[in-house]
Amino acid sequence: MSGEIELRNLTKRFDQTVAVDAINLKIPHGSYCCLLGPSGCGKTTILRMIAGHETPTEGDVWIGGESVVGLAPAGRGTAMMFQNYALFPHLSVLDNVAFNLKMRGVRKAERHRRARELLAQVRLDRFADRMPSQLSGGQQQRVALSRALITKPRVLLLDEPLSALDEFLRLQMRGELRRMQKELGITFVHVTHTQLEAIAVADLVVVMDQGRIEQAGSAREIYTLPVSAYVARFMGGQNVLAGKVASVAGGFATLVGDTGERFSSPLSGQTVAEGDMLHCCVRRDRVKLERDRRPPGAPPERTNAVVGAVHAIEYQGSYVKVTIDVPGREPFVANVADGRFFADPVDIGDPVLAWWAPEDVHLLTGGLGRSVRVTTFRQAGDSHG
Amino acid sequence: MHRPGSGRRPWTFYALAAFFGLYVLFLYGPMSAIFILSFQGPTGGLTFPMNGVSLHWFGALFGQQRTGDFAGSFTRSILLAVIVLSITVAASVMAGLAFRRRFLGSTLVFYMAIFSLIIPGLLLGLGVGLMFQFLGIKPAWYSSALGAQLTWTLPFGLLIMFAVFSRFNPFYEEAARDLGAGYGQTLWNVVLPILLPGIIAVALFGFTLSYDEFPRTLIPIGSRNTLPLEIWAMTTNVTSPALYALGTLTTAVSFVVIAVALTSIALIQRRRTRRGTRTDAGD
């Protein structure tokens, strides 16, 4: 049975609020898909509609070539892992895992044998007689995974599976989830609000905002070629710059910012017209930093540069994250390789010039057009570069 | 002034401790007087001093009928309490399940249930008695008195179930449905076992509220008394410490019921956290 999922014009309204707004998405069989977005963006509602715990207001959910709307959760070939695992507190680990088989009338000896097999796969067989409350968060998660997998699903739905774990376990478990998905060869749909988690595990990253899909693509695409300022800001790792298109020539567009800086960016097949207000972005790790020895307040003479004073310096191991206050702009971040930084370290308050090559600029022409909204979420890059 | 860390308690501690001591004395003093006097010697009277110590008056309860219909009223009270308990548990659990969603008239039903809690019990019993008379039905402990008691226990049970359900995570039900359980299977295998301690609490309330109910039961009881009414009747015509023996005995029954309920709740909780400690710890 194929685990290909197709969402067609999927919409969910709660009273007057639109939680999911006419979504179209195809998730290939056997792929690892992450639905990524800030809380309230509708990602969990989509997951619950695929699982059958929520009924779409409009639109359709197809799994393996047939519509599953109206089918009971267990009749869809999906299994869900709940955010806090929802392990039954009155049942032992073994009975939790065997629950589905019990509901299907499998005899006790047989269902316990099969539950033990699954527990052995996640190295929890010796905890079979424990109660869930006696297990650590990571162990509970593995029990929840076994309990879901005993149904032999073609689609596994994971609702914030790692959010209840500490940092160390989170990194370990996300690797384990990815490995399991490859081994089982089934479709995983994983809901998360953590950018680095999504790009670490997923084949297909779906960035959402306010009930809509902002961008869907491979992790690398999403990270390096965001379609909109929203995606670029949300994923982190990019500096977003705004400007008005002054000229289009030779495959490059030149943008002029409010304070007179000029940014040149390759068009990469995108069509822009002179006079358009646009955003472009440049990766933090492609930005070069040098001391600005000119009189304070002078705008940069060169194209693709900004000037400002160093606002914060954070050592990150392999690189140093330097945040620069650029007057009239959102803070600009340069991730400087540690060797280069320490060759001539700048200090907080120092005037600096940050510049970059035109090839490292990417125009943001897509998305849903809410390009000038203020970021209301924590940017991934702020804590991890 | 009390200085922190000086090791001496402030005077307020002793004042409040004395107040608490008085409270305890007030609470248990009268009851202990009755317990002690129920062991009065065969020649003793209704008041102190004790004239020897014996179980004579406990024996008298089961003996000749001059002390009233103790055995009959006791049996009726227990039976009635069990019936009230069963109906209260069944109705409260179902109502608790229903009230998780808003339905047509849910607010009205809720306020009606609460209303019957605040009507004076005696008036309510009078109303039930009058209605039975009007309908030409003979009042009895298993009909009119049962109904009158339920007006008291059902709203209580409902309120407890509200509290219990407010802490119940609906994800358990979704998980069960996700794992192939039907509605009935979910209820039986997941919802009820998880709610069991709360259900036992409702049962305990149903039982004890019925077992010592007086004002609502007084008028619609019919010709055969429950235990509290029998004791009330006995205070007017029995002039021996048998009355105290009866008080001690019925209190003991209440304690046993409460102990059974609390122990079973504790056992369930312990089973959920301690079971399986025979396997080694750690990962």
When divided into structural domains, chain A yields a total of 2
Q: Indicate the domain borders of chain B.
A: 80-282
Q: Which residues on A lie below 8 Å from B185 (Cβ)?
A: 103
CB neighbour list of residue A251: distance below 8 Å, 6 or more residues apart: A266, A267
Nearest to A104 among B169, B180, B194 (CB): B180
User: SS3 for B223?
Assistant: coil
A124 and A35 assigned to the same domain:
yes
Residue in chain A nearest B173 by alpha carbon: A86
C-alpha A355/C-alpha A369 separation (Å) is 27
Residue B283's pLDDT is 38
| Average pLDDT along chain B | 83
- Partner-chain contact B180 A147, CB within 8 Å: no
Domain CATH for A52 = 3.40.50.300
Q: Of how many residues is chain B composed?
A: 283
- Look up residue A22 and give its amino acid: A
Q: Is residue A20 part of a domain?
A: yes
Each residue of A335-349: pLDDT tens digit?
A: 999 888 998 889 998
Residue B6: half-sphere exposure toward Cβ, Cα within 13 Å = 7
For A291, phi then psi, to 5°, come to: -70, 140
Which residue is associated with the tokens 């024996």?
Answer: B59
CB neighbour list of residue A316: distance below 8 Å, 6 or more residues apart: A335, A384, A385
A128 and A27 assigned to the same domain:
yes
The H-or-E segment that residue A351 falls in is strand A351-355
Domain CATH for A274 = 2.40.50.100
Exposure string of A233-253, with b = 16+ CB inside 10 Å and e = fewer, is bbbbbbbbbbbebeeeeeebb
| Residues of B engaging A, defined by a Cβ cutoff of 8 Å | 169, 171-172, 174-182, 185, 189-190, 193-194, 196, 268, 271-280, 283
A265 and A151 assigned to the same domain:
no
Residue B13's pLDDT is 93
Residue A44 backbone zone (phi > 0: left; psi -120 to 50: alpha; other: beta): alpha
Residue B275's pLDDT is 53
Q: Is residue A380 part of a domain?
A: no
Residue B5's pLDDT is 57
Nearest to B279 among A78, A129, A148 (CB): A129
Q: How far is B58 from chain A (nearest CA, A)?
A: 44
Residue A116's pLDDT is 94
Residue A376's pLDDT is 33
A167 and A53 assigned to the same domain:
yes
Over residues A178-191, mean pLDDT: 93
Instruction: Answer yes or no: is pLDDT of A168 > 80.
Output: yes
Q: How far is B203 from chain A (nearest CA, A)?
A: 20
Lowest mean pLDDT among A224-238, B79-93, B234-248: B234-248
User: SS3 for B195?
Assistant: helix
CA distances from A272 to A20, A227, A233, A240, A366 (A): 30, 14, 21, 17, 11
* A348 touches A311 (CB < 8 A): yes
Q: Which residues on B lie below 8 Å from A141 (Cβ)?
A: none
Nearest one of A324, A329, A383 to A354, comparing CA atoms: A324
CB neighbour list of residue A54: distance below 8 Å, 6 or more residues apart: A12, A45, A48
C-alpha A62/C-alpha A69 separation (Å) is 8
Q: How far is B104 from chain A (nearest CA, A)?
A: 17
- Partner-chain contact A133 B272, CB within 8 Å: yes
Q: Is residue A21 part of a domain?
A: yes
Nearest to B179 among A83, A89, A147 (CB): A147
| Residues of A engaging B, defined by a Cβ cutoff of 8 Å | 51-53, 72-74, 78-80, 82-84, 86, 88-90, 92-93, 99-100, 102-104, 126-131, 133-134, 136, 138-139, 147-148, 151
Each residue of B177-186: pLDDT tens digit?
A: 999 999 999 9
- What pTM did the predictor assign? 0.79
Question: Would you state the structure tokens that stand for residue A374, as one six-digit string?
Answer: 């203020």
User: SS3 for B11?
Assistant: helix
* B231 touches B249 (CB < 8 A): no
Residues facing residue A25 across a β-bridge: A7
* A259 touches A327 (CB < 8 A): yes
- Partner-chain contact A103 B181, CB within 8 Å: yes
| Average pLDDT along chain A | 87
C-alpha A59/C-alpha A25 separation (Å) is 12
A200 and A272 assigned to the same domain:
no
A182 and A283 assigned to the same domain:
no
Single out the residue in A177, A198, A224 at which a domain terminates: A224
Residue A213 vs residue B272, higher pLDDT = A213
Nearest to A80 among B178, B190, B268 (CB): B178
C-alpha B211/C-alpha B254 separation (Å) is 8
Residue A200: half-sphere exposure toward Cβ, Cα within 13 Å = 18
Nearest to B172 among A86, A127, A148 (CB): A86
Residue A143's pLDDT is 94
Instruction: Answer yes or no: is pLDDT of B280 > 90.
Output: no
Residue A382's pLDDT is 41
Residue B220 vs residue B154, higher pLDDT = B154
A124 and A145 assigned to the same domain:
yes
Q: What is the largest CA-CA distance in chain A?
A: 83
pLDDT band at B141 (very low <50, low <70, confident <90, very high): confident
| Pairing between β-strand A351-355 and β-strand A305-315 as defined by DSSP bridges | antiparallel
CA distances from B28 to A11, B25, B35, B244, B246 (A): 65, 5, 10, 15, 17
Q: Is residue A376 part of a domain?
A: no
Residue B211's pLDDT is 87
A146 and A233 assigned to the same domain:
no
A155 and A236 assigned to the same domain:
no
Packing angle of the helix pair B70-98, B192-211 (nearest 10 deg): 140
Q: Which residues on B lie below 8 Å from A155 (Cβ)?
A: none
Residue in chain B nearest A139 by alpha carbon: B283
Instruction: Answer yes or no: is pLDDT of A371 > 70.
Output: no
Q: How far is A131 from chain B (nearest CA, A)?
A: 6
* A236 touches A333 (CB < 8 A): no
Each residue of A48-92: pLDDT tens digit?
A: 999 999 999 999 999 998 999 989 898 899 999 998 899 999 999
Q: Which residues on B lie below 8 Å from A51 (Cβ)?
A: 178
Instruction: Answer yes or no: is pLDDT of A385 > 50.
Output: no
Nearest one of A319, A349, A350 to A335, comparing CA atoms: A319
Q: Is residue A384 part of a domain?
A: no
- Look up residue B39 and give its amino acid: F
Residue B245's pLDDT is 82
C-alpha A59/C-alpha B183 separation (Å) is 26
Over residues A174-183, mean pLDDT: 92
Nearest one of B191, B259, B221, B213 to B84, comparing CA atoms: B213
A207 and A240 assigned to the same domain:
no
Question: Would you state the structure tokens that stand for residue A247, as one six-digit string?
Answer: 């000229």
Q: How far is B54 from chain A (nearest CA, A)?
A: 48
C-alpha B18/C-alpha B4 separation (Å) is 22
- Partner-chain contact A80 B175, CB within 8 Å: yes
Over residues A214-234, mean pLDDT: 91
Each residue of B96-128: pLDDT tens digit?
A: 998 888 888 888 988 888 888 888 888 888 888
Residue in chain A nearest B180 by alpha carbon: A74
Q: Is residue A62 part of a domain?
A: yes
Each residue of B145-177: pLDDT tens digit?
A: 888 889 889 999 999 999 999 888 889 999 999
C-alpha A271/C-alpha A291 separation (Å) is 36
Give the rounded percent of residues in chain A with a pLDDT score beyond 90.
54
Q: How far is B261 from chain A (nearest CA, A)?
A: 18
A208 and A64 assigned to the same domain:
yes
Q: How far is B202 from chain A (nearest CA, A)?
A: 19
A207 and A252 assigned to the same domain:
no
Nearest to B273 among A73, A99, A134 (CB): A134
User: SS3 helix, strand, coil % of chain A, rounded to 5?
Assistant: 30, 35, 40
Which residue is associated with the tokens 């248990």?
Answer: B28
Q: Which domain holds residue A304?
A: 229-292+299-364
Residues facing residue A254 across a β-bridge: A247, A264
- Partner-chain contact B272 A82, CB within 8 Å: no
* CATH domain B80-282 topology: MetI-like fold (1.10.3720)
Q: Is residue A385 part of a domain?
A: no
Single out the residue in A207, A224, A241 at which a domain terminates: A224
Instruction: Answer yes or no: is pLDDT of B279 > 60.
Output: no
Residue A20 vs residue A377, higher pLDDT = A20
Q: Is residue A338 part of a domain?
A: yes
- Partner-chain contact A129 B275, CB within 8 Å: yes
Interface test with B, best of A99, A100, A159 (most B CBs within 10 A): A99
